[in-house]
Structure 1
Amino acid sequence: MGFMKKADFELYRDADQHYKQVLTTRDFLALGVGTIISTSIFTLPGQVAADFAGPGVVFSYLIAALVAGFVALAYAEMSTVMPLAGSAYSWISVLFGEGFGWIAGWALLAEYFIAVAFVGAGFSANLQQLLAPLGFHLPAALASPFGTNGGIVDIISLLVILSSAIIVFRGASDAGRISQILVVLKVVAVIAFIVVGITVIHPSNYHPFIPPHNPKTGFGGFSGIWSGVSMIFLAYIGFDSIAANSAEAKNPQKTMPRGIIGSLVIAVALFAAVTLVLVGMHPYSAYAGNAAPVGWALEKSGYAALSEVVTAIALAGMFIALLGMVLAGSRLLYAFGRDGLLPSSLGKLNHRQLPANGVWTLAVVAIVIGAFFPFAFLAQLISAGTLIAFMFVSLGIYSLRRRQGKDLPEAAYKMPFYPVLPALGFIGSLFVFWGLDFDAKLYSGIWFLFGLIIYLAYGSRRSGAKKVASSKDNEVE
């Protein structure tokens, strides 16, 4: 069994040479910002405020950003040393061994499967709100996931996921160009909401800014803020989708850290502003169960026309997020297939040298998940997979530093305040994971048990990593 067998970086790098290095810093900023300030910024602030934190939801976003920031710095360093398809999976396989890489990659796989379904559901909720004033209403059976409000399938979610897969199937450069156009519109829409929303803020809605804690419901106080952190942490997974496409980056030593860190900084500023304005416009309790609070808040404040425009552009932004996640998730599936941990057909490329099987596999699974699980529950499941991968990457920096300049290249960008910040990234991710609700941790546990069975019964026996593992894998510690 090759659980501890470390993969050879050079053979991984050579295996990814067929990818065209076409993505620039601008592409990565567009994909990163587009993924981070997508469904989460237009859907979650209101729900988290109503269910957990009140106006203190802004602290939930900032705490989540702080933890994500520590990990983003680790991602930036990793991606300059090892610009490989599969991001954390490939990195951890090289640094710690095949089995640990599988665990990190399996966590990310759950993230992408569920995140694509989550964004598709958010897109559907916002589009239905946009069309409602025009008298367009889908039959209940086609408007919601199975078992939710009489739904059988969310047809809009299905179609938008399918559309994003078709664009990614055409190539990363097409997805990058479309993202650059749409992300500008989305940022303009967010800024328009902030500027207009400020004019209708009622200061009384901010009092108390941190509502007292209710031990029966879990609402309020620092406990409520922390619960909010766990739910919205998924907002910051965008930089992982950048790293997953690093094999297609032009000059990754420069483009990767700029894309990862730059997109996070932009997103944090916009998240904080939108959240503060949103809870100031209406009492936070009014947002309970509302999956499209930004458009709703504008409409109820007398800006119906602007609400329609912002919601329409928000839809474009969510589409960018789908492109980024399908891109990243399909490259992860390709990496699994490349190494034999999943069927080798996932590691095969079409005539355009793209992992078409990975694209369609991701799309089909996401559509099925979106058909059966409600929107709010998906949020915490995404965070679970993300946080586990983040813990691995944070710890991986220690091994990476020992091996740079030996069997791994020197980093063009290095995480500052080493060795303190990697530890903070790990501890912060662990605490956020512990704050997830019981169901999220239970389902993530079932997912990992299922993954372990697949690895032991299939992956460890057929792993290509055995063939490409370095004969010197244990010489550099």
Structure 2
Amino acid sequence: MTQPAETEEPSLRRSIGTVQLFAYTLGGMLGAGIYGLIGRAAGELGAAVWLGFAVAMVAALLTGLSYASLGARYPRAGGAATVVQHTWQRPLLTWVVGLAVLASGLTSVATQSRVVAENLLRLVELPWLPPVMLSLLFLLAIALVVFRGIRESMWANMLCTTVEAGGLLLVIALGLRFWGSADLWETPSTEGITAGLLLQGAILTFFAFIGFEDTLNVAEECHDPHRTVPLGIISAMLVATALYMAVAITAVSVVPWRELAATPGPLAEVMNRAAPWLPGWVYVAITVFAVANTALLNYVTASRLTYGMARHGLLPAALGRVHGERRTPHVAVAALFVVVVALMLAGDITQLASATVLLLLAVFTALNIALLVLQRRKEEPRGSFEVPAAVPALGALVCATLLVNRVLSGDWRAPALAGAVLAAILLAWLALRPGREATAM
């Protein structure tokens, strides 16, 4: 009697092209942060805020290039966790890195769900619908899109990214006639533009580029990732820089930088002065798309990271299952939905979301060092996109400097919360001992 053929385990679907990955990376960076960051940056750099974005791009691009090289070398779901395990074979370190990135993504999704709900209720009055219920419906919609498939997630991202970028282009177009009215070299310092001033501005504006790290987690679903990942990351970072610098020049040209720094909604004020005839709901709608897109990308990233860690014995094996028809990690998507709902119901976790950014800086440092180690390992095959050793070395130095600067900034809340998250991750390791079956990635 013939034995039945063994059913092959379904895998993630390769369907992401260069344009889609470019939009994915760009959408992750644009987000909603730039809409409020301009004001804070103007307070630090004055009218020279555009220069801060240029310097920050150079600093961020160092790590971006390292991520591009690593993504081309190891196109596997799991992102940073995959690289760390492959480099050092230390399950505890992989566990900490993976859950640090996961914590950052999930707290961000939960925070953004509340922002989406608040802005939607500004657009449409629904007195019968509590904001918490609207946040829950939004999270459910995001989870369903991610479950539906990577193609659907990419198309939703491309739509949202188009609106996000369109919003910034609208600001530039409306304020273009004001260019030349401000001294773009004026700063709050009587000494003008100094290295110290640029460093402080770059430290602040560096965070406008966070988002490129999401790309590493979907490399396994890319067509020709050895080419697609580097192109997607580098082109998106360059386009984001051009947009940020043009928006910065426009903002300080329309609204004097001192007033820009004092207003709670800097770009809304820019649009109000440059085009008072424009309905206010346009800006609110753009914000909804921007925040929703960031939530979508963080959810996709978290689900692929969870899937990757499960496939290598660091999380329950069920989280590594792939739906036979949809070709998505459906168990991971469902499990993460429960977690983000719990975080959303916990109330205002904005401080917690900010604290996890510190953990991301530590992860960036580790990934740059990992690339240095791999480049020096003789038996390690070279990738299709290699960068000089100076790139990850400087990237690690920049990220470590930013981390130390944030810890020593005087605001103890973010470092304390980051430390609490790290302690919780270590306690979970001690309780679960997940590394016994961990494999090379």
Normalised to the residue count of structure 1, the TM-score between the two structures is 0.79
Cα distance in 1 for residues equivalent to 2:48 and 2:350? 19
Q: 1:300 to 1:128 in 2, by over 3 A?
A: farther
2:185 paired with 1:212 = no
The match for 1:413 is 385
CA shift digits 1:305-357 (9 cap, x unpaired): 26533442343233332222111111111223223323333223334332223
The match for 1:458 is 432
Q: 1:41 to 1:158 in 2, by over 3 A?
A: farther
**What's the secondary structure of 1:341's corresponding residue?**
coil
The match for 1:9 is none
2:371 paired with 1:397 = yes
- For the 8 Å contact 2:27–2:157, the answer to whether it is kept is yes
Normalised to the residue count of structure 2, the TM-score between the two structures is 0.85
2:37 paired with 1:44 = yes
Further displaced range: 85-94 or 187-196: 187-196
Q: Which amino acid aligns with 1:211?
A: P
Q: 1:84 to 1:290 in 2, by over 3 A?
A: farther
Cα distance in 2 for residues equivalent to 1:226 and 1:19? 42
The match for 2:217 is 244
Q: 1:192 to 1:180 in 2, by over 3 A?
A: same
> Unaligned regions of 5+ residues in structure 2, if any?
1-7
Cα distance in 1 for residues equivalent to 2:38 and 2:165? 17
**What's the secondary structure of 1:80's corresponding residue?**
helix
Cα distance in 1 for residues equivalent to 2:181 and 2:347? 37
- For the 8 Å contact 2:203–2:402, the answer to whether it is kept is yes
Q: Matches of residues 75-86 of structure 1 in structure 2 within 5 Å?
A: 75-86=67-78
Q: 1:355 to 1:253 in 2, by over 3 A?
A: same
The match for 1:271 is 244
Offset, 1:422:
1.1
**What's the secondary structure of 2:212's corresponding residue?**
helix
The match for 1:149 is none
Q: Matches of residues 291-330 of structure 1 in structure 2 within 5 Å?
A: 292-305=265-278, 307-330=280-303
- For the 8 Å contact 1:117–1:366, the answer to whether it is kept is yes
**What's the secondary structure of 1:337's corresponding residue?**
helix
Cα distance in 2 for residues equivalent to 1:64 and 1:452? 32
Of 158, 161, 172, the residue aligned with 1:183 is 161
Query: Aligned residues, how many?
Result: 426
Cα distance in 1 for residues equivalent to 2:311 and 2:251? 46
Of 279, 297, 307, the residue aligned with 1:334 is 307
Cα distance in 2 for residues equivalent to 1:59 and 1:377? 28
The match for 1:216 is none
Offset, 1:262:
1.1
Cα distance in 1 for residues equivalent to 2:106 and 2:197? 28
Q: Which amino acid aligns with 1:428?
A: V
Offset, 1:160:
2.8
- For the 8 Å contact 2:56–2:202, the answer to whether it is kept is yes
Of 403, 416, 419, the residue aligned with 1:445 is 419
Q: Matches of residues 49-448 of structure 1 in structure 2 within 5 Å?
A: 49-50=42-43, 52-97=44-89, 98-124=91-117, 126-128=119-121, 131=123, 136=125, 142=130, 153=132, 156-200=134-178, 203=181, 209-212=186-189, 226=199, 229-284=202-257, 286=259, 292-305=265-278, 307-351=280-324, 352-372=326-346, 374=348, 377=351, 380-403=354-377, 406=379, 408-415=380-387, 418-436=388-406, 437-448=411-422
The match for 1:5 is none
Further displaced range: 432-441 or 251-260: 432-441
**What's the secondary structure of 2:364's corresponding residue?**
helix
- For the 8 Å contact 2:53–2:244, the answer to whether it is kept is yes
Cα distance in 2 for residues equivalent to 1:280 and 1:227? 22
Q: 1:84 to 1:267 in 2, by over 3 A?
A: same
Offset, 1:269:
1.0
Offset, 1:163:
1.9
- For the 8 Å contact 1:193–1:310, the answer to whether it is kept is no
Cα distance in 2 for residues equivalent to 1:30 and 1:230? 25
Cα distance in 1 for residues equivalent to 2:67 and 2:318? 28
CA RMSD of aligned residues (A): 3.2
Offset, 1:293:
3.3
- For the 8 Å contact 2:319–2:332, the answer to whether it is kept is yes
Q: 1:241 to 1:371 in 2, by over 3 A?
A: same
Q: Which amino acid aligns with 1:46?
A: G
**What's the secondary structure of 1:199's corresponding residue?**
helix
Q: 1:48 to 1:162 in 2, by over 3 A?
A: farther
Q: 1:448 to 1:421 in 2, by over 3 A?
A: same
Cα distance in 2 for residues equivalent to 1:344 and 1:43? 41
Q: Which amino acid aligns with 2:386?
A: K
- For the 8 Å contact 2:21–2:215, the answer to whether it is kept is yes
Q: Which amino acid aligns with 2:232?
A: G
Q: 1:360 to 1:294 in 2, by over 3 A?
A: farther
Offset, 1:410:
2.7
Q: Matches of residues 24-35 of structure 1 in structure 2 within 5 Å?
A: 24-35=17-28
Q: 1:377 to 1:203 in 2, by over 3 A?
A: farther
The match for 2:5 is none
Cα distance in 2 for residues equivalent to 1:224 and 1:364? 44
Identity over aligned pairs, percent: 24
- For the 8 Å contact 1:298–1:304, the answer to whether it is kept is no
